[in-house]
Structure 1
Amino acid sequence: PLVSDTTYKRCFFVVDDRTCSDLLREGDIDAVVRKAVSRGLDPVRAIQMATINAAEYFRLHDRGAIAPGYMANLITINDLAKVEIDMVFYRGKLVAREGKPLFSLPPVAPELTHTVHIKPLTAKSLSLPAKRGNLGEETYPVIEIIPGQIVTKKAAEKVGIVDGVVMPDIERDILKLVVVERHKASGNIGLGLVKGFGLKKGALASSVAHDSHNIIVVGTNDLDILKAIEEVDSLQGGLVVCAGRKVLASLPLPIAGLLSPEPLEVVVSQHENVEEAAATLGNLPPAPFSILSFLALPVIPELRLTDLGLVDAVEFKLIK
Structure 2
Amino acid sequence: MAHRWTNTLTHADVTPRAAFLNRRQVMAGLAGVGLAGMAQGAAAQETLEPNTWEEITSYNNFYEFGTGKDDPAKYAGALTTEPWSVKIDGLVDNPGDYDFKDIMSEMTVEERIYRFRCVEAWSMVIPWNGFELADLLNMAGVQEGAKFVAFETALIPDEMPGVRYPILEWPYREGLRLDEAMHPLTIMATGIYDRPIPNQNGAPLRLVVPWKYGFKSIKSIVRITVTDVEPPTSWNMSNPREYGFYSNVNPNVNHPRWSQASEREIGGGLFAKRIPTLMFNGYEKEVAGLYEGMDLSQYY
Bin the TM-score by the shorter chain: under 0.3
Larger Rg: 1
TM-score (structure 1 length as normaliser): 0.22
Higher share in strand: 1
TM-score (structure 2 length as normaliser): 0.23
Q: Which has the higher contact order (CA 8 A, sep 6+)?
A: 2
Higher share in helix: 2
